[in-house]
Structure 1
Amino acid sequence: MKQLILFLTFASVLTSLSVNAQERELERANKKFDQYAFVDSQKIYLKVAEEGYASAELFGKLGDSFYYNADYPEAAQWYGKLVQEYAAQVSPEQYFRYAQSLRALERYDESLEMIALYKANTSADDSSVYENSGSQDYVSGTYKVEKLKINKAGYSDFGASFYGDQILFASTRDTGTFSTKIHLWNKQPFLDLYTADVEGGAVSNVQKLGGAVNTPYHESNAVMSKDGTKLYFTRNNFTNDQFRTSKNRTNKLKIYVSSRADLNSPWGEAKELPINNSEYSTSHPALSPDGSILYFASDRPGGYGESDLWKVSLEGDSIQSQPVNLGSAINTPGRDGFPFVSKEGVLYFSSDGRAGLGGLDIFVLDNDVVKTLEAPINSTADDFAFIIDETENSGYLSSNRANDPLDDDIYSFIKQPCETVLIVNVIDNVTNQSLGEAQVEIRNEDNKLLISGLTSDQGTFTFSQIACEDTYFVRASKTEYSTEEENIAVSGDQNEVTIALSPKRIKVGDDLAMLLALEPIYFDFDKSNIRPDAAIELEKVIQIMKEYPDLHIDVRSHTDSRGNDEYNMALSQRRNDSTIQYIIEKGGIDASRLSGRGYGESQLLNECSNGVSCTEEQHQLNRRSQFIVLED
């Protein structure tokens, strides 16, 4: 019995010693993790896990270390163990990163489950940020993507930027020029900037960037000013040959600028920008087309996630404003970075905080809506550092889609024209019979006429070579019929729309606004200018007056009751004059066919008279125009 007790006591001591040793190893790994030495920390974490030690901290740190090196299969495995065995200790951020790892593996249903848990464990504000970043609007287009031959196997090449007739990019390739330093994050050499020639779409002749920009530490993600005399780029916190760290002994990233006298001069010694701080990273510079705004990524305080997009105003290379966050419509709880602004002022960026294909995906801000670029631009791997020359419809992106997660490559792409066919069918809405020789007009969103013509005997009109991705107004009209219009967003190989016209009989006293089912000709409060939406409706009046050359109309303009009665009468007259003048000048209608006057607030449609409290919508009903048919 004593021997048994002694054995059990000895086993207990061994177990305790083993656990203590594993916890010491875990502490050592955590120090490396906190210094972003993810590969070294992984080795220790994996050894401890193989020895049978398990904890929420161990599984979470393993998931994080693989996630930050873009090894999403391994990250998903360890996050899965964390959620399964230690659900009560999972942080919201780990739910979020697990969801993104699952998305990279195309396990979308499971990813959505983790997003639901993320939102259930965050504040209302954080949850709403993710809602704003959950756009799944896709920018379609046919892209041809090719891996550049200049990529070097086993090393990372990424972050191409336009550099005159060349491209400038970052690479970990070892040129043998200096003794190679190894980065603890991923065990690869530190990055330097390189140039490559571009000719006829081919990229060749890689050379290390000359001048004083490259150092023994990281340089990457550069952008050159329009005049070619300034270069903004990302570097480790390494200034005047001094390597500086934050309070927790971590070396952060900073943005530097180097200058040169002209295009033939070497780059001079770089100076860091005043927006930098040793306690957080500032990186990925991008310039607006006119050079007045510098965009960048940073994990500085005041953001929405792990890194956000920010901007400052520039004058020369001098910062003229405090950093401004681009807001929750763009930034997410994840990593947002790699901004690029095209010649046309369009913002592209990468994020792993949105519902994309997986990992980092490339997004574009299109008319204030964030949209995802479709495959093959995006993939289930990390896709980032997208740049495009819209005049050539070509550009470059970076991705680790083809290799080891730590091996990024640069890809070129050509955006091929996305052409489709739009077929318009015009029918009688009473008999459903096709209407031949009906007039068809196709206009863009700015109401610019693109093409017009008559339908065939079968009532069809075909518009070929119409661009995809856009929205068009299709208008159909015919003598003795109403004028109708449809809104259509075109995509794919073929689009078809049917417009039904109503037979009409115009008689004296009719209001064309009622007969043509016009949207009201609204005016902004206290204004008399023709709004864009009103212009669209007046085009319909013009069309019917062209179809009926003997038609005369009386234009009657009204205001709401707000303001002085005498002033409103004068305002309605100005609106009446504007309406009639538009029809005459834009439609080419003879002035003798038009009459009218303003009625002020004398003919209200509702109870919203002087002193009555009404909503804006109720008042707007009274700000209207009528088009009454007169005798010849």
Structure 2
Amino acid sequence: MKAKFTLFTVLLCFIFGFSQSEDVEIKKLKINTDLDHFAARVVGDKVFFSHNLTTKRGRAIKDKYDGFIYIMYEAPLSADGEIKDEKPITKTELGRFNMSSATFSKDGKYMYFTTNQIDKGTNKLKGVDTYNLQIQRAEYEEGKGWTNFETLPFCDPDHNYAHPALSPDGSTLYFIADVKGTKGKSDLYKVSVSNHSTYGEVTSLGETINSSRTEIFPFVSADNKLYFSSDRRGGKGGLDIYVYDLDTNDAKQEPKPLEEPINSRGDDFSFFLNEDLTTGYISSRRYKGEGGDDLYYFEKF
């Protein structure tokens, strides 16, 4: 979750309708190890997630900047949320690496994911040249796997762009960036999407949603609620998951943190809610975890 990302390498029951059952059940998945497993996303009958690129002996590979390299995995969807029989995704560009934090079109044909720029850019925080993060789009072709990789046109090599998330209708892409005018270390932005080939003007989600701290890992549920993680004041500790209703007409609405057991005193991020709006996945570095970023499955949300 942190690799290469140099910026960061108690939901109340209130009148706006954000409610969370007190009976939420959450379990740590058996797939977790001391390596990183995060950003699970369900697409059709598959679940995709991010995991370290490893050696044949299972050791995590690092780049020359001492950052972990990630790759996308897929596995058959199971009724109990467990992830097993996983395998790396099939892709045509074998040299492409550090693929993580992906979002998919409903039909599973298009994937947007976080990777690194091919050319060096300036790291604004450290004042050095690094391969900043960018967002790419890939297309799935039967018999070939993921192919036709394209960098989104607004990704400037001198800034970071990461954690893409498509709206339920596929017409808007949410993501984080550290471009000029960003309020915190990274803010939430959006851009319109047309036919997964052309994109509109990048727009900030504004000061109501963005804070002076760090916002990462946006996700938009089937009922058009925005979930994201932030280390802003008022949380339980570290990164917490917040929710904001994108359909509200209430100008005073503010993002609210989710209750336990979704949020914990550790880092909680990369929230995903299935279309049933009751089950899903989160990633976390919480007490009694396996040591890395772990995947958890929840029910009765």
Question: Residue 103 of structure 2 aligns with which residue?
Answer: 223
**Secondary structure in 2 matching 1:223:** strand
| Counterparts of 2:261 and 2:11, CA distance in 1 | 16
76, 80, 85: which one aligns with 1:205: 85
- Of residues 113, 127, 140, the one that matches 1:260 is 140
Hey, what's the Cα distance between the residues in 1 that align with 2:287 and 2:42? 24
Larger Rg: 1
In structure 2, the partner of 1:143 is 24
**Alpha-carbon distance change, 322 to 415 in structure 1, aligned in 2, over 3 angstroms:** same
2:261: which partner in 1? 376
- Name the structure 1 match of 2:196: 317
Q: Deviations over 1:380-404 (max 9, x none)?
A: 1110000001416100000011468
Paired residue for 1:398?
283
The 1-side partners of 2:113 and 2:94 are apart by 10
Q: 1:333 deviation in Å?
A: 0.8
1:5-404 alignment runs, 5 A limit: 68=8, 137=12, 139-141=19-21, 142-151=23-32, 153-174=33-54, 176=56, 181-183=61-63, 187=66, 189-201=68-80, 202-212=82-92, 215=95, 217-238=97-118, 244-247=119-122, 248-261=128-141, 265-366=144-245, 367=248, 368-391=253-276, 393-402=278-287
TM-score normalized with structure 2 length: 0.84
Contact 1:137 1:370 in 2 (8 A): no
Q: What is the alpha-carbon root mean square deviation over aligned residues?
A: 2.9
Deviations 1:203-254 (A, max 9, x none): 211100111366463110111111221111000113xxxxx21143111100
Which structure is richer in relative contact order (CA contacts within 8 A, separation 6 or more)? 2
Give the aligned residue type for 1:256. Q
Paired positions, count: 281
Whose helix proportion is higher, 1 or 2?
Answer: 1
Going from structure 1 to structure 2, the CA distance change for 1:305 and 1:394 (only over 3 Å counts) comes to: same
Alignment of 1:502-513 (within 5 A): none
- Residues 121, 132 of structure 2: 8 Å contact kept: yes
Task: Give the distance between the partners of 2:277 and 2:224, measured in 1 at CA.
Answer: 16
What residue identity is the alignment partner of 2:91?
A: G
Q: Residue type matched to 1:190 in 2?
A: I
Residue pairs, 1:373-452, within 5 angstroms? 373-391=258-276, 393-402=278-287, 407-415=292-300
Q: CA deviation at 1:328?
A: 0.6
CA distance in 1, matches of 2:150, 2:291: 30
Q: Deviations over 1:559-578 (max 9, x none)?
A: xxxxxxxxxxxxxxxxxxxx
Contact 2:70-2:99 at 8 Å conserved across structures: yes
TM-score when scaled to structure 1?
0.41
Task: Give 1:452-491 correspondences, 5 Å limit.
Answer: none
Mean CA deviation greater in 160-169 or 400-409: 400-409
In the alignment, is the contact (CA less than 8 A) between 1:312 and 1:319 conserved in 2? no
